[in-house]
A and B are shown apart, each in its own frame.
Chain A
Amino acid sequence: KNQVEQSPQSLIILEGKNCTLQCNYTVSPFSNLRWYKQDTGRGPVSLTIMTFSENTKSNGRYTATLDADTKQSSLHITASQLSDSASYICVVSAGNNAGNMLTFGGGTRLMVKP
């Protein structure tokens, strides 16, 4: 069964600090891995998409890494801001012909305090 596990479930950091969120997956065959940011009560917004051949991808202060061998990804947030407070969701896409091939992680809830 395809699964995506995220850790930690929640995290509190001080403004200006860095943090790293983890995502482990068992999805086969692998197509791509996505990180989304979701503000409370709003729709998820895409941060990055990485395919098998990509090891790292940045979007401003967000940097995602992918290790396809160990089936792990991380999202690193640099110099956190109060607006980074949100849930971060890891989503892995399976490389089959089915249309319903997305497996969602449970998310990491990040709170940035002043």
Chain B
Amino acid sequence: EAQVTQNPRYLITVTGKKLTVTCSQNMNHEYMSWYRQDPGLGLRQIYYSMNVEVTDKGDVPEGYKVSRKEKRNFPLILESPSPNQTSLYFCASSWDRNTEAFFGQGTRLTVV
């Protein structure tokens, strides 16, 4: 089954404790991206990757890092999480930037 898998689905952590949210897709897509979704603000892009070893900042990249060492995986790294990063995070993949995007099920992160 074609899918984008994120882990964990739920995470509660403390300020400053490094964490990684994993994202994996099994569709051989080249384009992957991370979004956060906050009430009243809609979906905002954090980082995107157009191919292996090619990543770039989206609209709200501050406080986040990503890596794309292989095509199927695109982890999101929070080196020192802060409470304003409490949000619902989605990973998405597509063949390229112009085609249909498939979203993961989301990761609800709470930073206390």
| Neighbour of B57 across the interface among A42, A100, A105, CB < 8 A | A100
Instruction: Flag whether A11 is at the interface (Cβ < 8 A).
Output: no
**Which range holds the interface residue count of chain A?**
20 to 34
Q: Point out the residues of chain A lying under 8 angstroms from B18, CB to CB.
A: none
A29-52: which residues lie under 8 A (CB-CB) from chain B?
31-32, 34, 41-46, 49
Q: How large is the interface on B (under 10, 10 to 19, 20 to 34, 35 or more residues)?
A: 20 to 34
A89 / chain B contacts, CB cutoff of 8 Å: 42-43
Residues A41 and B42 in contact in the complex (CB < 8 Å), given A99-B56, A99-B97, A101-B97: no
The chain B residues found within 8 Å of chain A, CB to CB, are 4, 31, 33, 40-45, 48-50, 56-59, 88, 90, 92, 97-106, 108
What is the interface of chain A, defined by CB distance below 8 A to chain B?
31-32, 34, 41-46, 49, 89, 93, 99-102, 104-107
